[in-house]
Amino acid sequence: MTKGPSWRVVAVQESRDLWVSGRGPVLLFAYSVLLSVISYLAGTNQVLNFLEQREAVNLTLQVAVTVGVLVTLLVSADAVSGERERGTLESLLLTPMSRRGILVGKLTAALSLWGAAFLVGIPYLWVLGRGVELVGKALVLGVAVGTVLAVALAAFGLLVSAVSNSNKASLAVSFLVLLALFAPAQLPPMPTSWIGDAITRVNPLGSATTYLSAVLVKGHDWTRDLSYLISPVVALLVAGGLLVAVGPRFVRLIGGVNGS
């Protein structure tokens, strides 16, 4: 018999595997190296007057959120399909746990990586934001917006992982979707084009980073541009709802929509 809710038991075991096996620390180390490079470049440009201090904080926060969400998505994309290929899913399915509880537990474990990634980013934001009343606001916005994105994409990754016939397919699909979300956000802004604004607003990642820029760089009140958060919240509700409603039927030894 398991002690406590099934999702909590799975979350504890998955978190232990993630952080003890070495995947979590390795991903976090690579993340910290990237953040160090970005922060150094932002700080250097700030000294040279190429980058205003608010822009430096905003850039670092966006990288912290985007890359933190990326590693969370990749971990969740491995959660079910990876266990199938490693031959460990069968033993999990034989335990007295609901399949919905298994998914919720795996989602919780994947989100622990997002939490750790954001904690790593705090010192960088503090160093770059010294002297302006911006660090506290950046941290609050980063936690709120980043968590919404992390939950949405982690839930999506778990769905893809449960449906996929192979772990490589799950990781490839998840990475391509994230790339499709990330690429438009890097295009030059088109402020006079309603098409450009529409593309930004339907993209959860692009609309979230636009909201962060509006508050941190332009100095808008946090309530002024809340419409940019509609897309991330909808993504969270849709992906999370599908994970809870239909995800459990795909947690089985054979992937695919029809189990074939």
pLDDT over 70 at 184, yes or no: no
Look at 54 and 123; give whichever has higher pLDDT.
123
Look at 19 and 199; give whichever has higher pLDDT.
19
pLDDT in tens, 99-148: 999 999 999 999 999 999 999 999 999 988 877 778 899 999 999 999 99
Q: Among 13-17, 108-112, 183-187, whose mean pLDDT is lowest?
A: 183-187
Q: What pLDDT sits at residue 138?
A: 93
Q: What percent of the chain has pLDDT over 70?
A: 90
Q: Among 35-39, 131-135, 199-203, whose mean pLDDT is lowest?
A: 131-135
Domain boundaries, the chain: 6-183+236-250
Give the global pTM. 0.89
pLDDT-derived band at 1, boundaries 50, 70, 90: very low
Overall average pLDDT of the 239-259 stretch: 85
pLDDT-derived band at 246, boundaries 50, 70, 90: very high
Average model confidence (pLDDT) across the chain: 87
pLDDT-derived band at 47, boundaries 50, 70, 90: low
For residues 217 and 129, what is the distance between their CA atoms, to the nearest angstrom?
12
pLDDT over 70 at 4, yes or no: no
